[in-house]
Amino acid sequence: MEVHGRTDSAVLVPLYESADGEVHAVFTRRRDDLKRHAGEISFPGGRRDDGESLERTALREAHEEIGLPPAAVELAGALEPTPTFVTSYAIYPFVGVIEAGLEWVLSANEVAEILEFPLSALRAGKGERRLLRKGIAFRTTTFEVGPHTIWGATARIVEDLLDRVPSAR
């Protein structure tokens, strides 16, 4: 499926099952000093290189950003592509199943921290908020887990994921 955006990009939505049977999603919090999407919570991903498949982009970017080896990911499918409105990216999300307990290696240039949220906490934290971004106020779907707020394209991807993954274990 095509989506509006000048720049094609892909993200990996890493999922794992913890020892208690809870499914978790792995996110990054971007560094606060980045030019684009500073401080935002997102899935590992980025721009597609020339001649590269979108699946390969998602795996490469996850390896670069959080140290997740492509061989450690079992691609399970794709979610609906989504655009970013301000930066004009077309984001193609791919779900990857990984083992629990992996050690992350953060890209010091891009990633401030790794966040691992149970899907149940994301479901419980769904709401709508008025946000202010670059002087513009808007209402948007959000997912709040503790002090963390997921919004924008990542919230749309999470919403699609939660619609497809049953809430019962």
pLDDT above 70 for 32: no
Q: Domain extents for the chain? A: 7-124
**pLDDT given at position 122:** 97
The tokens for 58 are 């998602």
pLDDT in tens, 118-165: 999 999 999 998 876 667 777 789 999 999 999 889 999 999 999 998
**pLDDT given at position 40:** 85
β-pair type (7-17, 89-97): parallel
Closest CA to 66 of 99, 104, 12, 39: 104
**pLDDT given at position 116:** 97
How much is the mean pLDDT over the chain?
A: 89
Homologous superfamily of domain range 7-124: Nucleoside Triphosphate Pyrophosphohydrolase (3.90.79.10)
Q: How confident is the model at residue 11 (pLDDT cuts 50, 70, 90)?
A: very high
CA distance 75 to 97: 6
The runs of H, that is alpha helices, within the chain are: 54-66, 119-124, 152-164
CA distance 51 to 6: 16
What mean pLDDT do residues 6-27 have? 94
pTM here is: 0.90
pLDDT in tens, 64-79: 999 999 999 999 999 9
CA distance 163 to 151: 16
Please give the helix or strand (H or E) that residue 77 lies within, else none.
strand 74-78
pLDDT above 60 for 166: yes
* Beta bridge mates, 30: 111
